[in-house]
Structure 1
């Protein structure tokens, strides 16, 4: 990875910045991403206000699946790893499923049908910035309109976060896992390092 382009702010933090960190981090040290964005406190405040990590209309597992696939498709190892570290204990993905979020094509045998539809949605939005009518009808078989609005917004938001972490060259977090190193099957390819 290249050298970081923006150095993270260091403690002690401005009171407004500390308050933003406290709201999101629940007492844990702030992530490097947040400390880099804090170079522009207004953007940090807007980013924190626009997040979708609260209790939404879809399950935590569905949310994390969309985030992992979207960030993997963008090659945003930082964000992928942070989400695995922070949420996989509750999301419950197996190691094979985590690795599969970084592969094309996915192994359909690892996923429920509704999860395959979400993976296809993340791929379609990444590849075409659109969802064709057939996939939309497939998604409607599993998700309400309210949920679909959230799903599309999640994929878009995490594309933006991926652009941010890659564009700023945010250093990887020590406690976060890395992308898998090699595909498990000969017919698949790793997404990982670049936008695929």
Structure 2
């Protein structure tokens, strides 16, 4: 059960009502609405990073699942496991992301680099040059910046959802939103 009540959209300013109008009725959106004037910008950034990214969708979901595990964010993991399947990640890889690097043989060399990259962004002030250079061989400048933004954004959202104990919706309420991410 959430630690605070979900935002009542009936009480929202017009800009926030507009930002929420075309979105699924997910608890994450109802909780983020408490941010007032910042909420539309946060929601737009998340949508932009999900829908307009030039990253391969499977790579994006690999990063998001790793962030979710690092943050122990069951809400985010519940949503992105399904998106990862739709993006082409096998159940075996989805399950192994949490155990990496102990389980690494099922990931491609680049997927392993991407997981190490994600961990480095989460854990270090500045990643080692050799790791950055290795990932830079396969991602262009836009994609590199998108990965940094994805990691930072989903870490922020995961922390909010976890600390506020946002309730996980039944999958049927989430289906339309997941389809839009791919």
Establish whether TM, by shorter chain, passes 0.5: yes
Mapped contact 2:16–2:37 kept (Cα < 8 A): no
* CA separation of 1:129 and 1:23: change in aligned 2, threshold 3 A: farther
Counterpart among 52, 62, 65 of residue 62 in structure 2: 65
Task: Name structure 2 gaps, 5 residues minimum.
Answer: 173-182
Give the match for residue 45 of structure 1. 40
Aligned residues: 169
Match runs of 1:96-111 below 5 Å: 96-111=92-107
Using the alignment, how far apart are the partners of 2:16 and 2:102 within structure 1? 40
In 2, Cα distance between equivalents of 1:11 and 1:147: 35
Residue matched to 1:164: 160
Asked whether the 8 Å contact 1:62–1:115 carries over to 2, the reply is yes
Greater percentage in helix: 2
Would the alpha carbon gap of residues 136 and 93 (structure 1) be closer, same or farther in structure 2, given more than 3 Å must change?
A: same
Q: Is the 8 A contact 1:24 1:48 kept in 2?
A: no
SS of residue paired to 2:55: coil
Aligned 8 A contact 2:29 2:43 in 1: no
In structure 1, what is the equivalent of residue 123 of structure 2?
Answer: 127
Quote the residue 1:4 is aligned against.
2
CA distance in 1, matches of 2:32, 2:9: 14
Contact kept? 2:64, 2:151, Cα under 8 Å: yes
After TM superposition, the score normalised by the length of structure 1 is 0.76
Contact 2:28 2:166 in 1 (8 A): yes
1:34-66 Cα deviation digits (max 9, x unpaired): 111212331321211222112222111111111
